[in-house]
Structure 1
Amino acid sequence: MAPLSSAYAINGDVVNCRSGPGTSFSVVRTYKKGQDVSLTCQTVGTSVNGDALWDKTTDGCFVADYYVSTGTGNYVTGRCEGGSSPPSEGNGNGYCKKVNQAGLDLISRWEGFVASPRPDPVGLPTVGYGHLCQQKNCAEVHYSFPLSVATAQQLLNDDVPKYSSCLASYLNNRVTLNDNQWAALVSWVFNNGCGSAKSSTLVQRLNNGEDPSTVASQELPQWRMAGGHVLQGLVNRRADEVRLFKTASSKQAYPNCR
């Protein structure tokens, strides 16, 4: 067994410690900001804001290293049994699924803050920043209602990797996107769902090698309907996503981080 590491402080307001190294695993316990945790080992799992390293605590559960003040994105203790090497820049699309702050701000702005579960404009129950409830009263959410802005933001951080991951799995490695382009598309997938994105003409055209700016400008505005009606809010959101997509950036996000 790997030796215990020193204690490290939790840097998120309320941080989930899960049964495995990923956001799809069940929540075992939560830690509060400033609470010290000691680590038994580390491994690679779901990327959280670009950091795919997960820390196993002495409580026997896994917490995203992004929320632990280890001071580095690399290992500070031994690898968990069966673990792999830590992620690094330029490590390929397996770890290049983060969304920049401009993208998170766009999603937050258009989803709007909802402190307790309630129906959205088309009647679907949501909470936080666009979290679609999977169980009655959003019982799968492990933050107390009403949410604070901070816990809603953390819930969004928990949710986003699902959509960035599925988008990465649909695009081939010939597609090249900077961080603003990537963030705009993740916002679109977050809003419309992975299944819709997978079968979309937008993804097909990108994979066929068409110019990304042309594709985004032509395809994103078409996603403006909900419940069989054109919603002005969706028209405006798509325009905002196109603007972000066209905002110049030298930072590549897909397929390789730089």
Structure 2
Amino acid sequence: MSRLRKAGLGLTAAGAMAVALVGGWEGLRTKAYIPIPGDVPTVCFGETRGVKMGDTYTVAQCKEMLGKRLVEFETGMRSCLRQPDAIGDKPYVAFLSLSYNIGSRAFCGSTVARRANAGDIKGACDAILAFNKAGGRVVQGLVNRRAEERRICLGGEL
């Protein structure tokens, strides 16, 4: 069950937070690009699935894609959390942002998920900081994003 949308009512508070957090960090680019040398083609709000260089989308298509993918990543994230509905909205959204960025499989195998499942939400929030590399090297943009995800996870305002 998604905490991002209420049937027929649109986004929940958690859904609005997720869109703002992920959309803000990913940024909107309607033409495919390579974010970091050696990375895969990316478009819209960080979408990589099936993207080829030269692809272009409208803003409306990008927003629709983000909404669908957030629900998809939420499903993946929830599958490995023992009690996802017991997690507060802010940690939940921070975990979803991380999952969206690193992938559901990586999230499910992470210390973040293990600590959350053990009931150690603060420890799970702290573990977010470890995901600051791309291509084997620390990337300042990821350092900044992880610090913001951790801050929100620990109860900070979005």
TM class by shorter-chain length? 0.7 to 0.9
**1:49–1:157 CA contact under 8 A, matched in 2:** no
What corresponds to 1:198 in structure 2?
108
Deviations 1:198-251 (A, max 9, x none): 1112211221232x023212x0111100101000000000011011112269xx
Task: Name the SS of the counterpart of 2:32 in structure 1.
Answer: strand
1:215 aligns with 2:131: no
Moved beyond 4 Å, runs of 4+: none
Structure 1 length as normaliser, TM-score?
0.53
1:109 aligns with 2:20: no
Partner Cα distance (2:123, 2:85) in 1: 13
Indicate the RMSD between aligned Cα atoms, in angstroms.
2.7
Q: Check 1:107–1:174 CA distance in 2 against 1; reply closer, same or farther (3 A cut).
A: closer
Structure 2 length as normaliser, TM-score?
0.84
What corresponds to 1:42 in structure 2?
none
Q: 173, 179, 183: which is aligned to 2:89?
A: 179
Structure with the largest fraction of helix:
2
1:50 aligns with 2:5: yes
Deviations 1:131-160 (A, max 9, x none): 113254587xxxxx3422x33222100110
Q: Which has the higher contact order (CA 8 A, sep 6+)?
A: 2
1:240 aligns with 2:156: no
The aligned amino acid for 1:132 is T
Q: Check 1:155–1:48 CA distance in 2 against 1; reply closer, same or farther (3 A cut).
A: farther
Partner Cα distance (1:172, 1:192) in 2: 20
Count of aligned pairs between the two proteins: 155
Gaps of 5+ in 1: 1-45, 54-64, 68-96, 140-144, 250-258
Partner Cα distance (2:84, 2:17) in 1: 24
Query: 1:186 deviation in Å?
Result: 0.2
Q: State percent identity of aligned pairs.
A: 25
What corresponds to 1:132 in structure 2?
48
The structure number with the bigger radius of gyration is 1
The aligned amino acid for 2:87 is L
Query: 1:125 deviation in Å?
Result: 0.8
